[in-house]
Structure 1
Amino acid sequence: MTVVVALVAGLGIGLALGALGGGGSILAVPVLVYLLGQDAAQATTGSLVVVGTTSAVSAYAAWRAERVLPARGAVLGIVATGGAAAGAVASSRVPEPVLLASFAAVVAVVATVMTVRQVRHARRTRAGLGVASGSGPDRPRFDDPIVSFSPTFMCRCPRAVKVLVTATVVGLLTGFLGVGGGFLVVPALVLALGLPIRYAAGTSLVVITITSAAALAVRAGTGPAPDWILVALLTAAAVAGGRLGSRVADAVPSARLQTAFTLLLVAVGAGTAWQAIPVLT
């Protein structure tokens, strides 16, 4: 039965990552804790393996589908590694209930922000204030460099500051909570950098791969090791689900993907809070 749970949950994690560019890790941690019997420290470490591996495979599929802005993903990922390392060290110094309650709180905040944004967008659309998408793909103009030294020095400094702050915060929370960070990176790319959700989802997979590797490297050899057989089963199923999720992302409108992402955040945040908060009181 445990094997079946791991395989089914892994498929769901992969679907979330492949289609939404995030959400896999917020499924992996509760699955490992509440369904597969791992403690919080084991689950947060194991989830990095599952999500990091699946993100790398899904990022390649998204890149082939032209849903990735590689430069943006690489810059955010590299900048976030320092924060991820610091967060991973800090997480080893807090009790398990605090770790899970923090996890639930962060998910709740992000879900609220995304919900407010969707409601405002819906109101603008009903009022006829939306921008027509045109007949071609909604390809953003974010491949333009933020900082350039050739032929002359150029700096879009306000956007550069947003990238720095966003990446650092994402890295800190990724390392602290032991997650890939997609549920943070996607809103950050949408809200701070203005990427359409489809490109934010694909680009976030690059960031997740980098930050997961950084946080896992810091955690290596510290704390209790997860059940690696369960982690391997979750990873294999998640990779398969990620490939399917990439196809879903190509077929489903962006607005529906964003709604699904927000609903996923609300559900998982509420469930984790329900389990974690009574322990603290």
Structure 2
Amino acid sequence: MSAVVLALAAGAVIGLALGALGGGGSVLAVPALIYLLGFTPVAATTASLVIVILTSATALSAHARDGHVRWRTGLLFAAAGIGPAMLGGALSARIPAAVLTAAFGVVAGAAALRMLRYRPSAEGVVPARPGRAAAAGAGLGAVTGVLGVGGGFLAVPALVGVLGMRMRKAVGTSLLVITVNSLAALATRVGTVEGLDWAVVGPFVGAAILGAWDGKRLAAKVSGNTLQRIFALVLLTVAAFMLIDAVL
């Protein structure tokens, strides 16, 4: 199977998850780029940021038109992660490939388990705590910078649990946070962008953008919990594979 066909298939799945769940799809971009398309871990994290930025921005516009983005809250949350995202982006090139792969496997596994256990409440609203919100935003930025993922799988639970946001608005707002953090992380990797294989990254991005629109429509027809559990099981399998690969 050609690299372009694999890129199209992987991009479609990632865009679908981003559009439907407000996050999570990007965490599959790095392993897809490494194991399906032959990218190095460093190149994969850079390419992933490009894919995440363009796809998240597209999905964000769709959610914004429906009034499901809290701009002020999302920008404040993202602001706490800009510094850590840039620092993480600068440090990632100095991390050995095996360590980067193992770290990604751990984060992906933790994200999958959180998705399986997480039960969003449509009614429960908790008061926002500025300190916890800043800490959550900073941690999310660091993960984005080092591993090249948008962090939506962490942003949505944080926006609901820490800032008391309703689930539908948390999904839309998380896309704003993902876009800002990913832009900050990519700013430290400008020199590595030119070396990317755009013949593969381009189709990947195109399929992801189209998938994000389909994901938005799918979210209105299928239970969010069902989509989340299916994706979490796939992600858990990928995480186990990456951890085994890093150790052996």
TM-score by length of 2: 0.90
Which string of whole-angstrom CA distances, capped at 9 and with x for unpartnered residues, describes residues 238-257 of structure 1?
11111111111122233324
Output aligned runs, 1:56-71, within 5 Å: 56-71=57-72
Structure whose CA Rg is larger: 1
Matched residue, 1:277 = 247
Q: Deviations over 1:183-222 (max 9, x none)?
A: 2222322343343443322211111111111111111115
Q: What's the CA shift for 1:8?
A: 1.2
Encode CA deviations 1:104-129: one digit per residue, 9 max, x unaligned.
Answer: 111222333343344xx8xxxxxxxx
Matches within 5 A, 1:127-142: none
Partner amino acid, structure 2, of 1:255: N
Match of 1:193, SS state, is: coil
**For the residues of structure 2 that align with 1:65 and 1:260, how far apart are their CA atoms?**
26
How far does residue 224 in structure 1 lie from its aligned partner after superposition?
A: 8.1
Shift of 1:223: 8.4
Question: What root-mean-square deviation, in Å, do the aligned CA atoms of Structure 1 and Structure 2 show?
Answer: 2.3
- Report 1:21-170 matches (<5 A): 21-118=22-119, 159-170=129-140
User: Is 1:248 the counterpart of 2:221 in the alignment?
Assistant: no
What corresponds to 1:201 in structure 2? 171
**What SS does the corresponding residue of 2:39 show, helix, strand or coil?**
coil
For structure 1, list consecutive stretches of 5 or more residues without a partner in the other structure. 122-130, 143-155
**Which secondary structure state, in structure 2, belongs to the residue aligned with residue 176 of structure 1?**
helix
Q: Is contact 2:125–2:166 with CA below 8 Å preserved after alignment?
A: no
Residues of 1 paired with 2:99 and 2:167: CA distance?
31
Alignment deviations for residues 47-86 of structure 1 (CA, whole Å, 9 cap, x no partner): 1111110000100101122332222222122221111011
Structure 1 residue 38, shift from structure 2 partner: 0.7
**1:9-28 paired onto structure 2 within 5 Å:** 9-28=10-29
Runs of 4+ aligned structure 1 residues displaced above 4 Å come to none
**1:265 to 2:242 alignment:** no
Partner of 1:147: none
Residue by residue, what CA displacement relative to the aligned partner does 1:2-35 show, whole Å, maximum 9, x if unpaired? 1111111111111011011112221111111001
- Bigger mean CA deviation after superposition, 187-196 or 227-236: 187-196
Between the two proteins, the alignment pairs up a number of residues equal to 247
Cα distance, 1:141 vs structure 2: 6.9
Q: TM-score, normalised by structure 1?
A: 0.80
For the Cα contact (< 8 Å) 2:16–2:212, is it kept in 1?
A: yes
Distance 1:264 1:205, change over 3 A: farther
CA distance in 2 between counterparts of 1:113 and 1:8 reads 26
Q: Deviations over 1:78-110 (max 9, x none)?
A: 221111011111211110010010011112223
CA contact (8 A) 2:46 2:192 kept: no
Q: Is the contact made by 2:159 and 2:170 (CA closer than 8 Å) also made in structure 1?
A: yes
